[in-house]
Amino acid sequence: MKPDVVIAAHKLTKKYGDLAAVDGISFEVSAGESFGLLGPNGAGKSTTMKMIGGVSQRTSGQLSIMGLDPESHGPEVRAHLGVVPQQDNLDEELKVRENLLVYGRYFGLPLSYLRPKADELLEFAQLTEKAKSRVDDLSGGMKRRLTIARSLINEPRILLLDEPTTGLDPQARHILWDRLFRLKEQGVTLILTTHYMDEAEQLCDRLIVVDKGRIMAEGSPSSLIREHSTREVLELRFGSERNTRIGAELQGIGERLETLPDRVLIYADDGEAALEQVTARGLHPLTSLVRRSSLEDVFLRLTGRSLVD
Amino acid sequence: MSVMAEGHEATEAARARKFGSLYSRNASAVVSRGLMATRSSNWLVMASGFLEPVLFLVSMGVGLGSIVGPVQGPSGQEISYAAYIAPALLAVSAMNGAIYDSTWNVFFKMNFAKLYQGMLYTSLGPLDVAMGEIFLALLRGLLYATGFTAVMGMMGLLTTPWALLMMPASVLIAFGFASFGMGVTSFMKTFQQMDWVNFFLLPMFLFSATFYPLSVYPEPIQWLVQAMPLWHGVELLRQISVGSFGPATVVHIGYYLVMILVGILLTTGRLRALFLK
């Protein structure tokens, strides 16, 4: 094991009865890396996160966090972790600032350290004015930022973020991404799960694409796109009636064709050229769009399904 | 601005502590959280748990007592009816305080506030959480019992210095109900199931030799009552109130020590099974 590896999973498996939620996945994460688990709902991302945090026991395989087994050293492993769970579990009986202080106490930290730290984190989360508010009165985005601030109270070496921006409006998501990007710049190891490819592209140095508990591909966002997709994608809409039937007439254009219920995707390095070929065949889509390939396309290629159904 | 600048010595020290896999010797953090949260809790609900036995003492002890007249106390001496039922109601008071926190409050925190899930994602272990929450519940039991003892004093029902020992004994009773109550609550999933708690507590309150001696029952019923925790609390406090001790005193104390131990083990095991599965 390399010295700077902070998380090492080997054939990690979690079964619920006969169902394998996580089916023998192996990966390593180095210190300071930003590592993503990309996959649809039910792919086993959250279960993997829970096993890393030691709050879910693996069925088989090995897992080591900072050299410790989270199953036998739960409290010690979690002393190094910051956790942002999928659903906010802020303490609603406490005020905003109290949430940070009390959470810090759970890690055995003294108030002399926690008081200035809480103020610093409230500023980082842009919640200084809300310090004395009730948690109930915060917006969804604010709650999420408070949860992230709370996860940083013990200066974690590793931050686990489970679907950090799910359910937030676009503006709140961008604020959150900005905050997370700053943490990344400061060298915090980020482990995040997401089913948003734009999120993965923005925040992850490296990611694994997970489906049905298995790793489908691994690499940086750009290398995955290079490997599994073309440079550009031409999206055509012919109306729901014709989309499925038109495939045959489009054969031979671009490198690959993908027919979805609502649109047809043509993978080509030059999207505009592909569009010209389409019109040259006398086909006139209702709308057409040329865009860069994304992780969504990688996922579609690897699994034959889209990420968000 | 750098929130992650340099490893602060406080966080290093916190990480360098000795940890067990279930316990990080930090139950006090759970207790201080509970005390902080109490400020936003419902004081009226809290007061009602305290008032219930006081109202019984006044109505039964003073009211009913006036037609009952003096009765035979634990060591055979004659005492007023109020003095007879007061220690029993003190045991009920300690029980109520402990039960209030360890059942309904714990039920809410477990199933709705997801509090324990959050706690167990920190370096707290399930034993820290169990001990902290049980301590809070017994603290409320102690609070109720202190208030009730003060009421007894005002009514002139404290006649021997031995009676002061009722305080630590009340803590023992509260501890037993708190740890066992939290363990049992961990199995509850719905409000209907929580109603069983009341369904169980009310008859136990009425029939645990609280208002009359155990000897009125036929023998099989006596055995049943003697199996119930409240009866041991009632008898223990009744003996202490007049300073009359015997081998039975040890049995009563032993009953609670076992109850506490089983309760803590059950609660810790359940927290582990529920949140660290």
Closest partner residue to A105 (CB to CB) among B20, B29, B121 is B29
Supply the pLDDT for residue A238: 87
User: Distance (Å, rounded) from C-alpha B249 to C-alpha B184?
Assistant: 26
Structure confidence at residue B2 as a pLDDT band (50, 70, 90)? low
Residue B4 to chain A, least CA–CA distance (Å): 6
Distance CA A155, CA A153 (A): 6
CB B115 within 8 A of CB B109: yes
Phi-psi map region of A217: left, alpha, beta (phi>0 left; psi -120 to 50 alpha): beta
A167 and A274 housed in the same domain: no
What pLDDT score was predicted for residue A91? 94
- Which chain B residue has its CA at the smallest distance from A83's CA? B121
Residue A249 has what pLDDT?
Answer: 83
Mean pLDDT of chain B: 90
Q: What is the pLDDT of residue A25?
A: 95
| Pair (A160, A19) in one structural domain | yes
In whole angstroms, what is the distance from residue B260 CA to residue B249 CA?
A: 17
Helix extents (H) in B186-218: 191-207
Model pLDDT for residues B165-196, shown as the tens digit of each residue: 999 999 999 999 999 999 999 999 998 988 88
Q: Is residue A302 part of a domain?
A: no
Judge: A55–B276 Cβ closer than 8 Å, yes or no.
Answer: yes
**Does residue B273 sit at the A interface (CB-CB below 8 Å)?**
no
The pLDDT tens digits for A126-160 are: 999 999 999 999 999 999 999 999 999 999 989 99
**Is B36 an interface residue toward A (CB < 8 Å)?**
yes
Closest in B14, B19, B41 to A154, CB measured: B14
| Residue range A155-174, pLDDT digits in tens | 998 999 999 988 888 888 89
CA B217 centroid distance within chain:
27
Task: Tell me the shortest Cα–Cα distance from B115 to chain A, in angstroms.
Answer: 7
B268 touches A: beta carbon within 8 Å: no
Domain boundary among A203, A225, A247: A225
**3-class state of residue A37 by DSSP:** strand
Task: Write the CB contacts of B76 (distance below 8 Å, at least 6 apart in sequence).
Answer: none
Shared domain check, A258 and A219: no
Considering the domain architecture, whether residues A163 and A23 belong to the same structural domain is answered as yes
Please report whether residue A301 resides in a domain.
no
- pLDDT tier, A42 (very low <50, low <70, confident <90, very high otherwise): confident
Global model pTM greater than 0.95: no
Q: Tell me the pLDDT band of B3, cut-offs 50, 70 and 90.
A: low
State whether A85 and B121 contact (CB < 8 Å).
yes
Each residue's pLDDT tens digit, A232-287: 999 999 887 777 778 778 888 889 888 888 889 999 999 999 999 999 988 888 99
Which residues of chain A does B35 touch, with a Cβ-Cβ cutoff of 8 Å? none
Average pLDDT over residues B154-164: 90
A246 plus A139 within the same structural domain: no
Provide the CATH number for the domain around residue A263.
Answer: 3.30.70.920
For residue A298, being part of any structural domain is answered with no
Q: Which two tokens mark A292?
A: 């860069």
- Which residue in A has a C-alpha nearest to residue B117's C-alpha? A89
Partner residues linked to A62 by β-bridges? A10
CB contact under 8 A, A109 and B10: yes
Angstroms from B48 CA to nearest CA on chain A: 21
Q: What is the domain extent for residue B37? A: 2-275
Same domain? For A208 and A165 the reply is yes
Identify the H or E element spanning A225: helix A221-228
ipTM > 0.90 for the complex = no
pLDDT at B155: 92
Residues A87 and A218 in one domain: yes
Do A192 and A250 lie in one domain? The reply is no
User: Does any CB of chain A come closer than 8 Å to the CB of residue B216?
Assistant: no
Cα torsion angle, A201, A203, A209, A210, sign? negative
> Does the beta carbon of B16 lie under 8 angstroms from any beta carbon of chain A?
no
User: Rounded distance, CA A286 to CA A237, Å?
Assistant: 6
Give residue B1's pLDDT: 45
Q: CA A290, CA A263: separation in Å to the nearest integer?
A: 13
Least Cα separation, residue A83 to chain B (angstroms): 7
Same domain, A207 and A110: yes
What b-and-e string marks burial along A194-210, b requiring 16 or more CB atoms within 10 Å of the CB?
bbbbebbbbbbebbbbb
Query: Given 3-state DSSP classes, what are the helix, strand and coil percentages for chain A, each rounded to the nearest 5?
Result: 35, 30, 35
Q: Is A38 a member of any domain?
A: yes
A93 contacts in chain B (CB < 8 Å): 37, 40-41, 113
Contact A78 B122 (CB under 8 A): yes
Measured CA to CA, the distance from residue A83 to residue B76 in angstroms comes to 63
- Interchain contact B159–A (C-beta under 8 A): no
Closest partner CB to A92 (pick from B19, B41, B113)? B113
- List strand residue ranges (DSSP E) for B14-146, in order: 71-72, 78-79
**Residue B33 sits at the chain A interface (C-beta within 8 Å):** yes
Question: What's the CA gap between A210 and B190, in Å, rounded?
Answer: 36
CB contact under 8 A, A108 and B24: yes
Angle between helices A140-151 and A170-185 (to 10 degrees): 20
* CB contact at 8 A, B24 and B125: yes
Residues A32 and A177 in one domain: yes
Could you tell me if residue A297 is inside a domain? Answer: no
pLDDT at A308: 58
Euclidean distance between CA atoms A259 and B249, whole angstroms = 81
Could you say which of A87, A93, A121 has the minimum Cβ distance to residue B3?
A121
What residues are paired with A206 via a beta bridge?
A35
CB pairs under 8 A between A and B: 129
> Which among B3, B114, B125 has the least Cβ separation from residue A74?
B125
Core vs surface per residue B100-127: b (16+ CB within 10 A) or e: bbbbbbbbebbbebbbbbbbbbbbbbbb
Residue among B102, B113, B96 nearest B183 (CA): B102
Chain A: give the shortest CA distance to residue B84, in Å.
Answer: 41
Return d(Cα B230, Cα A197) in angstroms, integer.
60
Q: List the domain range (segments joined by +) for residue A288.
A: 230-292
- Chosen for mutation from A93, A123, A162 (greatest number of chain B CBs closer than 10 Å) is A93
CA–CA dist A116, A120 (Å, integer): 6
Q: Do A173 and A245 lie in a common domain?
A: no
pLDDT tens string B249-261: 999 999 999 999 9
> Chain centroid to CA A191: how far?
8
For the record, the structure tokens of B7 come out as: 């490893």
Please give the average per-residue pLDDT across B214-233, as a whole number: 95
**CB-nearest partner of A155 from B8, B21, B24:** B8
Same domain, A180 and A204: yes
pLDDT greater than 80 at residue B34: yes
Total domains present in chain B: 1
pLDDT at A160: 96
Predicted local confidence at residue A224, as pLDDT:
92
% of chain B surpassing 70 pLDDT? 96
- Of B201, B267, B196, B199, nearest to B230 by C-alpha is B201
Decide if A107 contacts B123 (C-beta within 8 A). Answer: yes
Pairwise CB contact (< 8 Å): B4 & A188: yes
For residues B80 and A41, which has the higher predicted lDDT (pLDDT)?
A: B80
Please report which helix (H) or strand (E) contains residue B104, including its range. Answer: none
Q: Which residue has the tokens 């390095």?
A: A269
| Strand, coil or helix: A10 | strand
Structural contact between residues A160 and A180, judged by C-beta atoms closer than 8 angstroms = no
How confident is the model over B13-27, as pLDDT tens digits?
Answer: 888 888 888 888 999
- The residue written with tokens 């009986």 in the block is A93
The count of domains in chain A is 2
Residue B47: pLDDT band by 50, 70, 90 thresholds?
Answer: confident
Most confident of A69-73, A93-97, B47-51: A93-97
Minimal Cα distance from A149: which residue of B? B3
A140 vs A308, which has greater pLDDT?
A140
Cα–Cα distance measured from residue B266 to residue B263, given in angstroms and rounded to the nearest whole number: 5
Final residue belonging to a domain, choices A207, A225, A243: A225
